[in-house]
Structure 1
């Protein structure tokens, strides 16, 4: 699954909780959020949107007085960013900044450390030491080198393992044997991990780019519904579009696309769950159709899929999907689009029959399958359609 970045706000909460340190910070998504910021003489205001090199790009504002918080936030938001982090400003000497990173690969876990932390650490690669963790690893030596207590180092490794991190970078930190002050954290996660941890979720993931209009609309939909909706654009000009229900099925389907060597063609990832109503699935599908029409790919497939639902009414959710397809039927046919469906659950016979009728009527039917066909097989039919040059 794709690696994605957590907000620094969520990452710092998780890291500080794991090592037993207090954390004070405020996630700012609009200017009204600044009303909750109080209690300190000066602050740091920075973009919290997975942007590399923020300091050098002028996206970190230091020593900001309380009266200037609003103007500082506006300055960064006017650059096109919509997620900020405000923290108390901590005075420290640059020479005390250290770098620590944890990565996991085929050979296991590796810790990287440099006593030359901060914004220029990448310019001093020779200063980075690497420690491969193993059964007989010398934790006391690493504690001496990094100036971080053994129990805190081990807590960071446990946090990494328990919450499906792909990488953890603390740069910089300032430490003595009494405290560990984490000044900047970057955490990459495997986004499929959200279905296996409660420590973070889709709302904690950040993108360095500004969200597309469709992504923004789905965020609004999710925030105002008891059901769950997510949508991420991976490739605006992709040829494979997914309209998925349920996290488990979503993981299987997206993984299979990558396994077939078509990961670069995957236009989007996301899902709906929690038994949404007809209007909600109409809105969700409408936004996905906008992405299909805007894509410059010469041929396209839409895979509408999911496992066998326990509670989600297939006929009801499909009614919303069908209505959105009806609205743009002519435009979708011009896109050389074929739609493949695999679903099961309450009222599946009605739902599958109606969506097949609609797709046939619009000339965009690829195939409609029930639980008697596996998700992988149904997806395979869709990918084969995309690869078959003679059909286009």
Structure 2
């Protein structure tokens, strides 16, 4: 179990963070991180899968961007393969993917999936009310429990302690965001993006993890107190325009650049961007020092900016949980953010791309 001493008690609320000691020297100047909605960026994203571990007939599922909003346009996708392919979707949440079947006669199976997407920065103007209409059934759906995100028991108890006497949805979210930043931490040793098993995290007291853990915890706490919330699963495409190495991808091969974010629905704003997991990542990995305060000049702008916004150097695949892969003979996935493959021996390890085997790349297309 992780033994790091939390720098705030588990019941800390929003105001406690502002009282943390300022650890940086007076000579340090606050860095800039201020995403703002503006022009669209166009990316071409290519995933190449060449299953290296398959024994006999097998199947591959490659996620395809399927989110269309005021911050992302999922455009056309194409593919080439020496297998039998069809575009399919999860029947519950509509996550799009390419399903490819290979029979045992295919000696060197491959599939290439190329998608074009347009993205842009997000930011919430908290001084303006801009409510969005959403029907009651949809909002109720985004408060439901899932296999990895229960909304009762220790999850609800923790959320109630975190929100304290907050009554509005906005106040509850603010306190939960601050609770997550104060109590969860980035753990680099966790494989991939983590598993997102939030009840186990809380029961063990080990709140160290990666984005699929930390943002799932945020989503679960929000849902358990009646605030609609969802994880958004995707991939970093390009470096951060603000110079943060941990908030972008600096590699030509994006096989390890998966990242999930979160959204909450506020009555006064509609769906709002959130990413406490990336605050934790900057605190732990942006500098050689493990930064323990959000007032540090490296962390402060990220802590502010990721409450209500995020940078458009990232693409969303879907918002699906408990994903049943069409044609799969195995159980549901907690989420779909990686290529998946199965043969008669079972499911491949998506967190081991060099064994699996797959590569992911992206290039920005200039207008």
Q: Same fold judged by TM-score > 0.5?
A: no
Highest Rg: 1 or 2? 1
Higher relative contact order (CA 8 A, sep 6+): 2
| TM-score normalised according to structure 1 size | 0.21
